[in-house]
Chain A
Amino acid sequence: MYSADINKIIPFSSVDGPGNRTAIFLQGCNFNCKYCHNPETRNLCINCMDCVPVCPAAALSDKDGKVIFAAEKCIACDNCIKVCKHGATPRIVRMTSKETFEKICENVPFIRGVTFSGGECTLYPDFMREVFVLCKQIGLGTMIDSNGSIDFKNFSDLLEVCDGVMLDIKAYDYNEHIKVTDVGNDIVLKNAKYLAGMGKLFEVRTVVVPELFDFRKTVDNVSKELAPFLKISNIRYKIISYRKNGVRKEYRDYKSPTNEEMNEAREIAIKNGFSDIVLI
Chain B
Amino acid sequence: MAVSAVTAATAAPERRRQTGGPGRAARYLFFGAALFYLCVPMIAVLIYSFATRWTANVLPDGYTLEWWQATLSNPRIQSAFSTSIMLATLTAAIDIALVVPAAYWSRVRNARIRHVVEVTAALPFALPYIVIAFGLMQFSGMVAPQFQGTFLLLVAGHAAIAFPFVYWAVDGAMAAAGIERLSETAEACGASPFQAVRRVVIPNISAGIVSGGLLSFAASFGEFAMAQIIGRGMDTVPLWSAEMIRSYSDTAGSYNRLAVVTLLTFAVLFALSAVVVYWNRGQTVRLLPGAGATNPTEGDRR
Chains A and B belong together in one complex: no
